[in-house]
Copies of this chain bind each other. A is one copy, B any other.
Amino acid sequence: MSEKVKLNDTVVLIDNSNKRYLLIIQDKTDKFKGIGVFNPTVLAGKQYGEECEIGSKKFWILKPSLQDKLLGMKRHAQIILPRDAAHIILNCSISSGQIVLEAGIGSGSLTIALANAVAPDGKVISYDNRKEFIDHAMKNLKIANLDGYVTTKFKDVTKGINETDLDAVIFDIPNPWDAVSHAWYALKAGGYFCTYSPLISQVEKTVKEIKKNKFIDVKTFENIQREMIVSDYGTRPSFEMLGHTGYLTFARKVL
């Protein structure tokens, strides 16, 4: 029942302030940002869930969850936060076995969440016209052990989509309205279309274009998350709060 850390495992180390560090148990002394210089093999044989000391710092060692993969990844650009990824996955009804397309790949945060949701039999196809973003995102996917569920395409999605019969198409690009009709053609009947945009004008242009195509159930949402601070003194909402991430627009293809 109690599992031990083995060579080549990907593990997550979590410190007291809930910072996460993803690493592979390889026999190679290296400098790890936030941890220090050490050889990860010293962790082999530890029990998952145990507290361990590296240098003078203490960490919990765990098998990486989806959360760890999302929060521990290296960011190259503004990412879609877990709170919005959660809504995309549920509102688009993403399930194991589906084939979904996203554009662009960004740092791969949504890609990780989507890959996790379609595994083990589904597939994520990810378009981006920026080579360096694809490379960076695939590194994050590899560390997350989810790269096997992702196919990347070095291509501008507004130039067209080759795939058809897709379960969902999700855009995080500056001009989603330019690819709405491509999305319609690529989707199967009943398939979900979703765009993520920070600006109202982007939403307006996109919704206008969606209404020119055969989509139903067109809705736009904003998700606001408040953390509650529960301490011995009492409870209150956190003073710190992210005021805005982006608007999520959903639509569903019909014939």
Contact = CB atoms under 8 A, between A and B. Distances in A.
A48 B254 CA distance: 8
Nearest to A201: B234
B203 A230 contact: yes
A54 interface: no
A148 interface: no
Interface residues of A, number: 80
Most B-side CB within 10 Å, residue of A63, A201, A207, A228: A228
A8 interface: no
A57 to B, nearest CB: 15
A223 to B, nearest CB: 6
Interface in A76-92: 82-83, 85-87, 89-91
A85 to B, nearest CB: 6
Contact of A49 (B85, B198, B255): B255
A41 interface: no
- How many protomers of this protein does the assembly include? 4
A65 interface: yes
23 contacts: A1-B164, A18-B216, A48-B189, A49-B189, A49-B255, A51-B254, A60-B254, A62-B252, A66-B90, A68-B93, A86-B87, A117-B117, A120-B121, A200-B236, A202-B234, A220-B228, A221-B226, A222-B237, A226-B243, A236-B244, A237-B243, A239-B243, A240-B243
Given A117-B117, A200-B236, 10 more contacts: A49-B188, A49-B189, A67-B93, A86-B87, A86-B91, A203-B235, A221-B227, A223-B223, A223-B224, A239-B243
